[in-house]
Chain A
Amino acid sequence: MMLQLDNVTKVYKVGAFGGKTFAAVDGVSFDVRSGEVVSLIGESGSGKSTIGKMILGLTSVTAGSITVDGVPVKAAKEYYRHVQGVFQDPFSCYNPVFKADRVFQLIKESYYPQVSAAEWDGRVRSAIQDVRLDPGQVLGRYPHQLSGGQLQRLLIARALLLDIKLLVADEITSMLDASTRIDVLNLLAELKERGLGVLYVTHDLSLGNYLAERTVVLRNGTVVEMGLTDKVFGDPLHPYTRKLLAAVPRLNAPWEDAEPTDTCRYHAGGASGALFEADADHFVACARLDGCPR
């Protein structure tokens, strides 16, 4: 067991003077184990990135706890040695006036000042090869001379230079074309085979399904369904999961009709969203459907 979220809540202050509050994440619990990819799925605004940011210590946790190997999140150097994030827009992580490989030098300066320049260069080259790039083609170039997919992979290489145990990947594939996207996904799968835990945040269900052992479906800040990906996608129980699956465009089949929703109002978050175990490692929140087993 490594990443553990326990009843995590995030309340933002909104309104002109912060007079109102809004719960972007509400009582979320799940875990990510070593050597496993867990995908976090939901529509935009459902709270996926907020969860990622809390895990990375980029925003505070309002209530509940997040721990990695039992240690609470701490926005400190030692924590980031083991936990790193990669985000949707790779361009924003680079300073356009410096060469892209400066991101590696910064890691050396803060974590490995004692390592010799020659040895560091060797490590950088092997990390770049690990993400299946050719060091000769990418080193020494400016960000605008590299494609989005190359920049994205360099950021993963940067994370690999640290002794990471957990990678948070937030929508890293949504701006990439189909071919580059698969390369990046296969790379995440290799990382998991090397024992890393990966939290893969996406709104693309087929990509989540391709990669993840377990899936967490988030709606308005609460988990509506989660568990083994085979079960969540193979036998979706919550009408919201079914609605999302029906909307996925498939190459050779017509769009499925959306699930009728008039018989059911989903819980709009709140205490009633408690999960129950429908099957081994398959949890669903009661949607108050007719014939709902609860």
Chain B
Amino acid sequence: MSLRVSELRVYYRTLKGDVKALDDVSFTMRDGEILGLAGESGCGKTTLGKSLIRMDGRMRHMGGTVELDGRELPIGDDRRMNEFRFHEVSLIPQYSMSAMNPTRKIGKMVGELLGSRGVALDRAELESRLDLVELPRKVLDNYPIELSGGMKQRMVMVISTLLNPSLLIADEVTSALDVSTQKAVAKALIGFRDAGFVKSMIFVTHDLALTSHIADTIMVMYAGKLAEKAPAKVMVTAPRHPYTKLLINSLPEVGVRHADKKLSGIAGSPPSLLDPPAGCRFRARCPVAGDECGQEPPVVEVEPDHFVACWKA
């Protein structure tokens, strides 16, 4: 088992009270597994990614544990986490394309970054990884501004994985890219896993169609909780949670035309996480909700590797 997250709770402190952005989330990941993490804006995806590597000042670890390769990660302890960052867990953050230092040539920046971690730069290794993501070696002599969005994104991937972390978290790394660049970045991520540069990966995105191509397993979150987790193929062909079903039905495939088939979004919006409603958090929007949904549905393994939190799944 590569990653085991148990009953994790992470809240944001605000003036109005705690925002319960991650509320009792449990799941595991196998060695070599790519986990696609999907769900509406605000459901807690970025919060989960950040919790596994670096909490920001307003985040509080309220309970639960995270184990990576059998060792517990001290996620609530910023200083002790340092030992794990970059070596064991690495994050490509949302909007990371603009995060590279603009005043340094890329090759120089990589050298300095590794130096700060006490590791010498292996030029040949770096070059072979550039080859893998199809970046010309001369990018090392460029400034970040000289690369296109997709090139920058691939460069950030190479840098974040140079120390072969066990777990890589990629947060919305393809959302701002056009389709052909998206495909190149996605293939590069799979290549990194296949080459063993990272053992396992969490790929966060809004885009279920894209995730279904990259991920072995897809996990859908709703309002700070796990709604459904299943092998990618099962998730897109036979989802069991009403929320997942609606989410998949709102995707226009190439070939669907408004004139022929009007798709619809999910009516309503997610509940506030300051004071989430009791019972199932999807209840107010759920087309099949019943009386039992006033109680919180437990996460149940309905089939091997297929977990659902819904009374009617």
- By a beta-carbon cutoff of 8 Å, the part of chain A in contact with chain B is 42-45, 147-148, 174-183, 185-186, 189, 203-207, 209-211, 229, 233, 243-245, 247-252, 254-255, 258
Contacts and interface: CB of A to CB of B under 8 A. Distances in A.
Contacts of A229: 257
B180 A207 contact: no
A43 B181 contact: yes
A233 to B, nearest CB: 7
Given A211-B258, A245-B254, A249-B186, 6 more contacts: A43-B180, A178-B250, A180-B41, A182-B263, A182-B265, A247-B179
A249 B265 contact: no
Contact of A147 (B41, B148, B213, B256): B41
For the residues of B in contact with A, the DSSP-based class is loop
A179 B40 contact: yes
A255 B183 contact: yes
A179 B265 contact: yes
Interface of B: 40-42, 148-149, 175-183, 186, 206-210, 212-213, 236-237, 246-248, 250-258, 262-266, 269
Nearest to B149: A44
B250 A203 contact: no
Given A182-B252, A247-B183, A252-B236, A177 B206 contact: yes
Contact of B253 (A44, A182, A206, A243): A206
A247 B265 contact: no
Contact of B248 (A44, A45, A247, A251): A251
Contact of B246 (A147, A176, A179, A183): A179
A209 B148 contact: no
A181 B175 contact: no
A212 to B, nearest CB: 9
A148 B177 CA distance: 19
Contacts, number: 117
A210 B213 contact: no
B146 to A, nearest CB: 13
15 contacts: A43-B181, A44-B148, A147-B41, A147-B269, A176-B206, A179-B40, A179-B265, A189-B262, A209-B257, A233-B255, A251-B248, A252-B236, A254-B213, A255-B183, A258-B180
A178 B208 CA distance: 9
A148 B253 CA distance: 23
A249 B256 contact: no
Contacts of B176: 174
A183 to B, nearest CB: 4
A198 B183 CA distance: 29
Rank and list the top 8 A-B pairs by shortest CB-CB distance, nearest first: A203-B178, A179-B265, A183-B265, A247-B179, A210-B252, A43-B178, A249-B209, A179-B266
Contacts of A211: 258
A250 B183 CA distance: 12
Given A185-B258, A252-B237, A178 B251 contact: yes
A127 B38 CA distance: 33
A22 to B, nearest CB: 15
A182 B184 CA distance: 26
B208 A177 contact: no
A12 to B, nearest CB: 16
A194 to B, nearest CB: 14
